[in-house]
Structure 1
């Protein structure tokens, strides 16, 4: 992977009903760069948010959906999601506080 910095790894948080429910267990869901690995995701989360220690990272590759416009078929872009579990003594991530 060519020169991806830690601020390029985390694209945006995933805000769904299921991801909001697992925040009680200190698990946070992010949309990440498709070529990022678990070590890069862990490093990026710990650098971006102060006082946060990552215990575990689970990743999943999501295939693009098939879309049709008239008789033309295409696919949306592939994405990658990461569920980051924090340690018990770490602080909560602040961007999710007001949701």
Structure 2
């Protein structure tokens, strides 16, 4: 895998109630990823960037919602998220230490 691609695959963490519950229950972390990213690319990117061992990667294509505004209907863009399961005892901390 290309070194540049590693830094482009992960767009950022996805923080929600559901992702927080999966982090507590199943030792998982949720990321927003490129729509063209494969499971193997996501696994390699997480292992190299965060220095953790990945057990499993599950991906979900999220359809863009249709919203109503003063001009009529508009559609939000579709995106992809990845549930990354880590080895027991490992964790990724997104809080910035100052």
Q: What is the distance in 1 between the residues matched to 2:96 and 2:23?
A: 10
Q: What is the distance in 2 between the residues matched to 1:96 and 1:30?
A: 15
Q: SS state of the match for residue 42, structure 1?
A: helix
* 4+ long deviations beyond 4 Å: none
Counterpart of 2:93?
94
Counterpart of 2:77?
77
How far 1:73 sits from its partner (Å)? 2.1
Supply the RMSD in Å over aligned alpha carbons: 2.2
Q: SS state of the match for residue 22, structure 2?
A: helix
Q: What is the distance in 1 between the residues matched to 2:29 and 2:67?
A: 29
Q: SS state of the match for residue 95, structure 1?
A: coil
- Give ranges in structure 2 of 5+ residues lacking alignment: none
Q: What is the distance in 2 between the residues matched to 1:30 and 1:92?
A: 14
Q: SS state of the match for residue 43, structure 1?
A: helix
| 1:26 matches 2:34 | no
How far 1:46 sits from its partner (Å)? 0.4
Return the TM-score normalized by structure 1. Answer: 0.83
